[in-house]
Structures are given as structure tokens and as C-alpha cells.
């Protein structure tokens, strides 16, 4: 999962600075876990929930092409092209 540019990493760092109350803001770039599935969802007791923060790297997941992103509670906050 190293295909993001320095600009993308800085975008994540800017998001972290702008969202200090979010659990996700505690994650430096290198510690963001991969998303289990493309939309970051997880099944919880028959319902849906989202990983607090996860990284979908389109260059290594799915069809290997397209948009990569960081999701926070299922919402894309930083994107880059794989």
C-alpha cells in the first residue's frame, strides 16, 4: 500500500490536523489499516458498521485500477488515482 504520493500523505496529515476529535486522527499514514472491503463496511450482529479508518489501495485490491482512498467511518476523506 505504498502507491500514494507525498502530496496524498500531506493531504491525510492536513485532514488529521483539521479533525483532532476523530479517532481516525490518531493514525499516522503508515498505520492506517487496509479496508476489509471497498466501502470499509463490516457486519456487526446482522447490521452494518464501518472501520473507523481504513485505506483502500486500488493498485493492490479489486481490479488493480481506479481510485484509491482513505475512509473514515465509511466516508472518503482523501483520494488518489492508483
Per-residue confidence (pLDDT) for residue 3, from 0 to 100: 63
Per-residue confidence (pLDDT) for residue 26, from 0 to 100: 96
Q: What are phi and psi of 74, to 5 degrees?
A: 85, 0
- For 4-62, the pLDDT digits (tens) are 789 999 999 999 999 999 999 999 999 999 999 899 999 777 667 999 999 999 888 87
Question: Under DSSP, is residue 7 helix (H, G, I), strand (E, B) or coil?
Answer: helix
* Torsion region of 59: left, alpha or beta (phi above 0 gives left; psi -120 to 50 gives alpha): alpha
Question: Under DSSP, is residue 82 helix (H, G, I), strand (E, B) or coil?
Answer: coil
Q: Give the global pTM.
A: 0.85
Per-residue confidence (pLDDT) for residue 82, from 0 to 100: 63
pLDDT bucket at 63, cuts 50 / 70 / 90: confident
Amino acid at each position: 500500500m505504498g502507491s500514494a504520493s507525498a502530496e496524498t500523505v500531506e493531504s491525510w496529515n492536513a485532514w488529521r490536523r483539521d479533525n483532532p476529535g476523530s479517532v481516525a486522527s490518531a493514525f499516522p499514514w503508515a498505520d492506517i489499516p487496509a479496508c476489509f472491503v471497498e466501502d470499509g463496511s463490516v457486519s456487526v450482529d446482522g447490521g452494518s458498521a464501518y472501520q473507523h479508518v481504513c485505506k483502500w489501495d486500488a493498485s493492490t485490491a479489486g481490479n488493480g485500477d481506479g481510485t484509491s482512498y482513505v475512509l473514515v467511518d465509511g466516508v472518503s476523506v482523501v483520494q488518489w488515482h492508483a
